[in-house]
Amino acid sequence: MKLAFSTLGVPGVPVPDVVRLAATNGYHGIELRAHPEEPVHPGIGPAARAEVAAEFKAGGVEILGLAGYAHAAAPGDDGPVLDEMRQLLELAHDVGAPSVRVFPGGGTDQSPEEADATAARRLGTAAEYAADLGVRILLETHDSHPTGADLMRILGTVGHRQVGALWDVMHTWLGGEQPQETYADLCPHLGYVQVKDIASAEDKTPLPLGHGVLPLTECVEVLSRHHWDGWLCWEYEKRWYEAAQPLPELLGPGREHLTRLLSESA
C-alpha cells in the first residue's frame, strides 16, 4: 500500500511546500483539498493548473485525488450539483489527479430512499463525463451515508466503473460497522482509504495516528489479508480544530506507525 496525507491538515500551505513535506517525510502522495481557501480549486486557470501538475511531477509525489465538496444526494435541482461535479472533474484532469471525492449530503427533509435515488441519478449522469476525462468519482462514507452498507444502496444502483467509494474509517466506526463488514461491501468499488485517529465519539479532535480509539490496526489487517494494494491517506482535520497539534511535526511518526501496521499485518 502507498501512503499519503491530505492538505486538510496543512490548510493554505502552498503547493511546493506540500510537495516537499510529502517527499521529506516519506509519503508517496497527497490528497488535495479542492476549496477556494486552498491553492488548488476549480477557480484557478489553465496556467496555475499546469504549474500544479509540474510541481508534483518534479517532486516525485503523486496526487491521489481532489477532495471536493459536491453533495450527491442534496435536496434540490440536479443542475448545480452536476455543474460542481463537472468542474471538479475538469480540475482533476488538468492537474493529473485520478479521482475526485464527493459527499452524499442527503438532507433531513427527504427519506433515505429519496436521497439514494437522487445520488444514484446524479452520479450516473456525472459518470459519463468522468469517463471522457479519465477521472473517477469517489463517494465518501460520510454524513447521511456513514457506512459501507449505506454507500452500497447508491453504488449498487449506479453500477458504473467511474463511480467508486472512499472509505473514511472514522465515519464507518461511528456508524457501528466493523472493518471487515465495510471492506466486504466496498471492495469492488474501493478507491482509497482515509485513516485518522480521535479520542472518542464525543471528542473528534484529531490525534496522532495510534493515539486514539479508531480501529486502524483492524482496518490495515483486513486490507492486507485481502491483498488490497491501494492508498492509505491520513486525513488530519487541522482545518476544523485549531487546537490540534501541527501536522508537519507528526508526519514522520505517522508514516512510521502506518508502516509498522503494514509490516505486522503482512
Range 133-140 average pLDDT: 98
Domain boundaries, the chain: 2-237
485520478: which residue's cell?
Answer: 98
Q: How does pLDDT run across 58-102, given as a tens digit for each residue? A: 999 999 999 999 999 999 999 999 999 999 999 999 999 999 999
CB atoms within 10 A of CB 230: 14
pLDDT one-digit tens code per residue, 21-34: 999 999 999 999 99
pLDDT for the residue 90: 98
DSSP 200-239: -SS---B--TTSSSS-HHHHHHHHHHTT---EEEE---GG
Fold held by 2-237: TIM Barrel (3.20.20)
In the chain, pLDDT over 70 holds for what percent of residues? Answer: 100
pLDDT band at 5 (very low <50, low <70, confident <90, very high): very high
Q: Is 14 within 8 Å of 50 (Cβ atoms)? A: no
Q: Give the residue among 171, 157, 172, 98 at the shortest CA–CA distance from 122.
A: 157
pLDDT-derived band at 108, boundaries 50, 70, 90: confident
* Confidence band for 18, pLDDT divided at 50, 70 and 90: very high
Backbone angles phi, psi at 215, to 5 degrees: -80, 60
Angle separating helix axes 46-59 and 78-95, nearest 10 degrees: 50
Helix (H, G, I), strand (E, B) or coil at 140: strand
Q: Mean of the per-residue pLDDT values for the chain?
A: 97
Global pTM value: 0.97
